[in-house]
A and B are shown apart, each in its own frame.
Chain A
């Protein structure tokens, strides 16, 4: 057997194993980094798309409800707390605390009615709740907008 045919001298086991592990770790880390980058990018894109779609659906629904009840003088109405609150324009007159509370209450009443409708409450139940919680005696407008007009 010529020297070339001789099997190469086995390297010490620990060295061999350590090198192999190092190679495996390096390859794994590269692959993981690539997977993480891809996954993060994909997750971020998916999340952004999902949020945008959810915001759009909720905003459209609540805007439709709000407009039907109280048509805006100009511009689009903000859905209650589900979309960012717009900062007041510098030339806008400051609203009184009472007016602000009233506006919040109105938005709250609509959200209450929507959530109750979505969770399966009847027209009568929502009406009773609006009466007790918001002292709204005639809730027909809100209810018609959410549930459709009564037959």
Chain B
């Protein structure tokens, strides 16, 4: 059973495993999974592998149906799935982005050291917890009108900066400068707007979190310095959240609409959750315009939260923002579809790159990077689980050639929520973490148990695969000190 993949998944090298298109009738391209042999059995067992195969059915898909090493079961696409389709005759699929559109991470740096922060850690965690709405059913502190919501959907992070949340530099250090241009609020349903209105500026629940971290390893001093990471022990803050109910509803709405379109255009897909429509069709364009709105909402959301993080640090530490040096390193999307250009069989081609639980990883010299990162490559932020590490990496040329400029996004679950919880109380998890010096504050102890470390792959193993395969290069590693869990 554990080795059932043998004969189906073929080893290309230690870190690349291929599924030939002859495996199933209807596959248009081969599947390619970046993983180590030791993680393969899990991928086989939870059917994520079958989802890599299903994605290869999508019309217009080029190269491979790809999976990053943190691959696990998703809906339609696996989490960790990457697929690029030709814009001229390919499809776009909401299942290739997921329910939490532009779920992503933002990393802030500080001038503070672990020693300086240590006496304040309880106060900081408490201040962050009370200053940033989190948990199930939490409503934001922002009261915005329906009209104002249009501006959020159109402008993204810039809306928040205009309202006084953060600074212009934050926009430079955000993927797409925190705003996808073709957003059209008219393509977002009233239901989605209703879900989104009260939730702007909230962390949410589930796997979303906010972490105070300390740098514990630096692998490339120079690249780290460019990001403002100077030494081990330095304090960083990681924010992980997305587009909340608005994004979920946009996904719901368009799976329904595109489900009908799939039939109308006569597209044959093996899973209803892979509903899709030609990129150029009215349905495909409407989805992309609505998705852009949800992505922009998520960027505005992280922008507001980053502002409250700064506020909390200034208040608790009793120092000015400049002195604390709370600057943004970068903000990346983990769930998104983007129109990008790549070389396909020697020709430059415009593609719709679906990244579902994957990070854009552009190399140094790429024109879309801000000037400060043009010499090192785009920062890639890879959160691990609560008890272990998170990584900071950069994109590479190999990623451009093999994975449409993509790499992994996190650890990836290995255990179901109820298995993770079995015999484990949230308070046990909090206790175990406290023994390791990690302070956790959560609205729900149940969700804490479901997100326990053991439920995840070891992020180090995941990052090692991307490092050896060359699709991203690690720069630094951090450990958590304080966690606010939604």
Mutual binders A and B: no
